Amino acid sequence: MKVNRSSRVSDESMQIQPLLCVLLSVVWCLSLLPARADDLNSFLPGVTLIEGKDASFLQGQSLSAFRVYALHDDELTAIPFQIDKRDARDRWMLDQGPHQNQGNLTEEFDANDAVVVMNRDFGCQASPMQLPKGAKVWAEIRVGDAAHPLGFAYLAAFDTPPPLPQQDFAYARYVPETDRVYAERYSLAFGAPLPTHLAFVNQLGELGTNLIAGVRAIGEVRFLKGLFTLRRTDENIQTEIQNYRQGAVRAIRRARYWIPLPLGLRTTGRVDLLFYRDFVEGTALIKVKFPPRLVLADGELRTYFRFLDLSGARLLLEGTQIDDPIDGHMTPAKQALTGRPAQWAGLLLPNGRVLLLIVRLDGALRQLDQRLYFDDNTSTEKERGGKPLFGFEFSRVNQIETGVHRLSVFAVILDNATSEEISRAARWFLSPPKVSVAPLKEETFR
C-alpha cells in the first residue's frame, strides 16, 4: 500500500487521537492565574457575555455606539467592555495574525455578536432616572435570577456616544512577537508549544518571577483491545499560532496543535486561549464523527503542572482539605486524595491564596472519567524538580458519542477565601449563573 506522507487526519472528523490532542493542548496551555478575591460576596468572579441572539432589540445598532455602565457607591460610571464576533462555525472571529478568520466583519451588532463584561465590574440596580441622556436604547443586564440578583450593568446605544473613559485600556495584552501575555495580575510566556513561564505580578507589563518547572502530559491510545498501542507525550506536540484578537476585557490567542502519527499521518486540533485580568479559559470544540468503540479503541491522558516549589501549600479537592503540607513526601492523606474523581481541585498557598483548576466537560465529554493527579514525591526520578505535580487524569474515552462537544478549562486564584467561598467560585465556572437582558421602556430614560 502506498502512503501519502503529507496526509493527515482532519480536525473535522475527530477520533481518539485528536480528542487527546485537544485535551493535551487545553490543559497544557492553561496557566494558574490570580484574581482579586478579598471576599466572594464583594465581587462576582468570571465574565458575562451579552449575546446578540438573546437581545434582538440591540441588533442593527452600530458597534461604535455602545457604552456599558454600572452603579457603584450610588454613582453610575462607564465600565470596560468589548464586542467580539463569531463566524458561521461558531468560532470567534480573530482579526490579527497570520491566518485571520475575519469572515463578514460588519460594523453592526448582530445575532452572532457578544458584548463581553467582567463580572467584577457589575454593580447595583440603577434607577432609569440615573441613566445618561441621549441614548436610543437601554438594556438592563442582570446576573442571577430575579429573586436573588448578583449584579447589574446597563448597556446603551447612542446617536452620539460619550467618549470612552480610557481609549487604550486593557485588562490583558497578548504580544505575538514574543508569544507572551501580560495582565494586571499575571504574566505568561510560551517558549515552546507549552507554557514555560508563569508569574504573579502587581501591574500590567511586569514579567515577574517564574513559578513553574514545566508542564507534562502523557497520552495513550489502545486499538483492538490492546493489539496496537499508540503513546505520545508533550515532547511530540507541534504548534502554529494562527490568529489573535485584543480588547479592553480580554485577549484571545488561537493556535493549531498536531501530533505526528505512524505512516506519515498526524492528528490536529485548534485551541482558543482567552486571557482575562484574573483568570484564563482554554476552550475547544471536539468533533467526533463516529464513536471510538466502533474501532475498539480506548485511551487515557494525564496532564499536569510541575511547580518549582510550593512548599507549605495544602491540597483541596472539591471541599476535602488535608492538613499535610507540600514538603516533598507523599503521606497517606495525600495518597488518599490522589486518583479521586473531581471536576476541580485547588492548592491552598501559605500566603492565603488558593489556586483553582477547573474542567467543564459538555455533551458526551461528560462520560469521561476525570480524576485528580497529584504527586509530592520529589524523589521520583522522572520528574525531579517538580514540587508538586498537580493536574488531572482522563480515561474511558471509548464512552464518547458522535457530535460536537465543548471542552473548557479554567484557572483562577482566590485570595483569603474560605472553603465555602472556594466551592462557590468553582461551581460558578462549572454552572454559570443565568444572565438576563431586558430593554428599558423609552419613556423611563428620555
Q: Convert the pLDDT of each residue in 190-235 to its tens digit.
A: 887 888 888 888 889 999 989 888 888 888 888 777 777 888 888 8
Residue 39 CA: distances (Å) to CA of 45, 120, 418: 10, 11, 9
pLDDT band, very low/low/confident/very high, at 26 (cuts 50, 70, 90): very low
pLDDT attached to residue 258: 84
Pair 282, 406 in one domain: yes
176, pLDDT greater than 90: yes
pLDDT band, very low/low/confident/very high, at 351 (cuts 50, 70, 90): confident
Q: What is the pLDDT of residues 223-233, one digit of tens each?
A: 777 777 888 88
pLDDT band, very low/low/confident/very high, at 22 (cuts 50, 70, 90): very low
pLDDT attached to residue 332: 94
pLDDT band, very low/low/confident/very high, at 263 (cuts 50, 70, 90): low
> What is the average per-residue pLDDT within 154-181?
90
Whether 261 maps to a domain, the answer reads yes
Residue 121: closest CA among 21, 180, 57, 42: 42
Whether 259 maps to a domain, the answer reads yes
pLDDT attached to residue 105: 65
pLDDT band, very low/low/confident/very high, at 29 (cuts 50, 70, 90): very low
Pair 155, 285 in one domain: no
Pair 273, 392 in one domain: yes
pLDDT attached to residue 340: 95
The number of beta carbons lying within 10 Å of the beta carbon of residue 10 is: 13
266, pLDDT greater than 70: no
For the chain, give the mean pLDDT: 82
Pair 403, 382 in one domain: yes
pLDDT band, very low/low/confident/very high, at 290 (cuts 50, 70, 90): low
pLDDT band, very low/low/confident/very high, at 4 (cuts 50, 70, 90): very low
Pair 154, 295 in one domain: no
Q: What is the pLDDT of residues 35-54, one digit of tens each?
A: 332 333 355 788 999 999 99
pLDDT attached to residue 5: 37
354, pLDDT greater than 90: no
116, pLDDT greater than 80: yes
Whether 5 maps to a domain, the answer reads no
120, pLDDT greater than 70: yes
Pair 30, 155 in one domain: no
pLDDT attached to residue 9: 36
Residue 415 to residue 356: CA distance in whole angstroms? 11
Whether 3 maps to a domain, the answer reads no
Written as nine digits, the cell of 345 is: 481541585
Pair 220, 331 in one domain: yes
Pair 393, 416 in one domain: yes
pLDDT attached to residue 53: 94
Pair 239, 360 in one domain: yes
Pair 321, 349 in one domain: yes
Looking at the chain, the whole-number percentage of residues with pLDDT higher than 90 is: 44
pLDDT band, very low/low/confident/very high, at 446 (cuts 50, 70, 90): low
**CATH code of the domain containing 216:** 2.70.98
Pair 272, 415 in one domain: yes
Written as nine digits, the cell of 155 is: 448597556
| Sign of the four-CA dihedral 232, 238, 244, 250 | positive
- Domain of 130 in residue numbering reads as 47-166+433-445
Whether 223 maps to a domain, the answer reads yes
Q: In this predicted model, which residue has the larger pLDDT, 250 or 416?
A: 250
Domain count of the fold of the chain: 2
Whether 11 maps to a domain, the answer reads no
